[in-house]
């Protein structure tokens, strides 16, 4: 199948081909026709499956088809809510790309940066807003955004919005939108609160479930070092002596842990930057851009900050700490091995993390091969 078969308009096809999208991914194949037909959608899918285009492409098409004279006042006709700023900016970049040959205007509204610029852009009008809930609520309370004309609402990574305590804000925002609208809801997991929300918000939805978990996991070369906490930094420094590790995303449990790892790497002249919630939006974006351009070799991140980060061709993921939620392991390592590429995931496991390892292995239904040899045997147990 190719995008032509999905009844996509030439202006959007041209944009997709400019982005080198040749064929739709499975989630796009299923979701695009349903969204174009005006249906509500429930998508159980993670970042990396092509989920953004699955909702963004049909939204761009539906809104650009309705567009009448360009002089008419622009109203916010689609709102996309996401848990993190990085994800919002990334979706915004994608939408700019998909809509580049249409008249549509889209705008990202995120916290952590000055409100003034966003106010000015809002005054000029936008058809599509991509927002994190907090800043949007602020602007709504100041009567600077009007959600009464929203026709298509997207809740992206709803489970993560729940984890991050945004659900009340999301409900408040929804209360300001028309009752009759098309809702597209994405969540990688289905805790009870999410099922409740799905029942309340969606009318006869089309369900699209893409579980890349096992296929992704199968494609990625995984390994594990049993290593005590005190030796983790030396082991990391040592592994990174290998020049074949061109770029690595390293996960730590805490923000302080991320900063500590960066300091440890910098000491041995390995270029590294951290990305986490204590950093300003600009610092996070800067770290991400440097990593993407290859200026920094190692990006050290916490899970929340890394959610939604989209880096093409990331060769290595290193778990400095194992996560206590097995799904998180799958999310983390799924950042390598994207789009059919093979990837490498290396994990460090200290004694206290052994129960997490057991849960992870149960989840992925296999045991992770253990590396027992190292040039400095004192580093691993
Ligand atoms: P997403 O799951 O939306 O974050 O997409 C993951 C990555 O795949 C992004 O870099 C997209 O630009 C890319 N992508 C999405 N759809 C396609 C497609 N049909 N062909 C090639 N790349 C795609």
| 51 pocket-lining for ligand 1 (C-beta < 6 Å) | yes
> 201 alpha carbon to ligand 1 midpoint, in Å?
27
Same-domain check for residues 248 and 337: yes
Based on the fold, state whether residues 170 and 28 are members of the same structural domain: yes
Q: Is 40 helix (H, G, I), strand (E, B) or coil?
A: coil
Q: Residue 251 belongs to what H/E stretch?
A: strand 248-251
Per the CB < 8 A criterion, the answer to whether 110 and 85 are in contact is: yes
pTM of the complete model beyond 0.95: no
**d(C-alpha 359, C-alpha 227), whole Å:** 18
On whether both 31 and 161 belong to a single domain, the answer is yes
State whether 223 and 312 are in the same domain.
yes
The answer to whether residue 202 sits within a structural domain is yes
Q: Is the CB of 212 under 6 A from ligand 1?
A: no
Q: Which long-range contacts (CB under 8 A, 24 or more apart) does 364-370 make?
A: 364/213, 364/214, 364/217, 364/326, 364/329, 364/330, 365/214, 366/217, 368/222, 368/223, 368/224, 369/222, 369/223, 369/224, 370/223, 370/224, 370/225, 370/226
164 plus 199 within the same structural domain: yes
Q: Is the pLDDT of residue 339 over 70?
A: no
- Do 118 and 8 lie in a common domain? yes
* pLDDT of 381 strictly over 80: no
Q: Is 49 in the pocket of ligand 1 (CB under 6 A)?
A: yes
- Helix, strand, coil fractions of the chain, as percent rounded to 5: 45, 15, 40
Assess if residue 371 is contained within a domain.
no
* Any domain includes 84: yes
Residues 197 and 224 in one domain: no
The residue that leads in pLDDT, 143 or 375, is 143
Q: Is the CB of 48 under 6 A from ligand 1?
A: yes
Q: Clarify whether residues 193 and 283 are in a common domain.
A: no
133 CB within 6 A, ligand 1: no
Ligand 1 centroid, distance to 289 Cα (angstroms): 18
* pLDDT number for residue 307: 64
pLDDT at residue 165, as a whole number: 86
Nearest to residue 253, comparing CAs of 185, 303, 198, 315?
303
Residue 376, in any domain of the structure: no
* Percent of the chain at pLDDT exceeding 70: 93
Residue 342 or 355, more confident: 355
Q: Is position 140 within any domain?
A: yes
Is there a domain that residue 378 lies in? no
Give the CATH number, domain containing residue 310: 3.40.50.300
Residue 93 alpha carbon to ligand 1 centre in Å: 12
One domain for residues 94 and 65: yes
Helix (H) or strand (E) holding 238: helix 232-239
Residues 84 and 107 in one domain: yes
Domain final position from 194, 209, 224: 209
Q: Whose CA is nearest to atom 5 of ligand 1?
A: 50
- Our answer on whether the CB atom of 21 is closer than 6 Å to any ligand 1 atom is yes
Interval between CA 312 and ligand 1 midpoint (Å): 9
Atom 15 of ligand 1 has which residue's CA nearest to it?
50
Q: Is 55 in the pocket of ligand 1 (CB under 6 A)?
A: no
Q: Are 226 and 380 in contact (CB under 8 A)?
A: yes
Q: Per the structure, how many domains does the chain have?
A: 2
Q: Cα of 22 to ligand 1 centre, how many Å? A: 10
Which of 209, 234, 259 marks a domain boundary? 209
Measure 25 CA to ligand 1 centroid, in angstroms: 8
* CB of 336 shorter than 6 A to ligand 1: no
pLDDT reading at 153 higher than 90: yes
- pLDDT at position 220, please? 87
157 lines ligand 1 (CB under 6 A): no
Same-domain status, 157 and 226: no
Q: Is 20 a domain residue?
A: yes
pLDDT band for 72, please (50, 70, 90 cuts).
confident
Looking at the fold, whether 54 and 201 belong to one and the same domain comes out as yes
Q: Residue 141's domain spans which residues?
A: 3-209
- The answer for residues whose C-beta is within 8 angstroms of residue 341's C-beta and 6 or more apart is 313
Q: What is the pLDDT of residues 23-36, one digit of tens each?
A: 898 899 999 999 99
């Amino acid at each position: 199948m190719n995008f032509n078969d999905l009844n996509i308009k030439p202006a959007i096809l041209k944009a997709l081909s400019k982005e080198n999208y040749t064929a739709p991914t499975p989630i796009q194949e299923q979701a695009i026709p349903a969204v174009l037909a005006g249906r509500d959608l429930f998508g159980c899918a993670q970042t990396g499956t092509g989920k953004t285009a699955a909702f963004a492409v049909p939204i761009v098409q539906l809104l650009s088809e309705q567009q009448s004279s360009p002089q008419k006042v622009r109203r916010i006709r689609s709102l996309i809510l996401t848990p993190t700023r990085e994800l919002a900016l990334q979706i915004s970049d994608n939408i700019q790309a998909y809509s580049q040959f249409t008249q549509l205007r889209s705008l990202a509204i995120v916290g952590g940066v000055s409100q003034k610029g966003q106010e000015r852009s809002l005054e000029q009008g936008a058809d599509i807003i991509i927002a994190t809930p907090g800043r949007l609520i602020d602007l709504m309370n100041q009567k600077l955004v009007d959600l009464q004309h929203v026709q298509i609402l997207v809740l992206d990574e709803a489970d993560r919005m729940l984890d991050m305590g945004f659900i009340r804000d999301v409900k408040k925002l929804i209360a300001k939108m028309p009752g009759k609208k098309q809702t597209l809801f994405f969540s990688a997991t289905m805790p009870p609160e999410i099922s409740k929300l799905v029942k309340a918000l969606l009318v006869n939805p089309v369900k699209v479930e893409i579980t890349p978990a096992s296929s992704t996991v199968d494609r990625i070369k995984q390994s594990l070092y049993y290593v005590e906490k005190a030796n983790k930094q030396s082991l990391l420094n040592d592994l990174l002596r290998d020049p074949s590790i061109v770029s690595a995303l390293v996960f730590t449990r805490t923000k302080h842990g991320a900063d500590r790892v960066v300091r440890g790497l910098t000491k041995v002249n390995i270029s590294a930057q951290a990305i986490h919630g204590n950093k300003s939006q600009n610092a996070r974006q800067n770290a991400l851009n440097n990593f993407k351009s290859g200026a920094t070799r190692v990006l050290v991140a916490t899970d929340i900050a890394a959610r939604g980060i989209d880096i093409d061709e990331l060769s290595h993921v290193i778990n400095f700490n194992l996560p206590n939620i097995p799904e998180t392991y799958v999310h983390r390592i799924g950042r390598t091995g994207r789009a059919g590429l093979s990837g490498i995931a290396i994990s460090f496991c200290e004694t206290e993390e052994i129960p997490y390892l057991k849960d992870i292995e149960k989840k992925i239904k296999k045991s992770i091969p253990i590396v027992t040899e190292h040039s400095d045997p004192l580093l691993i147990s």
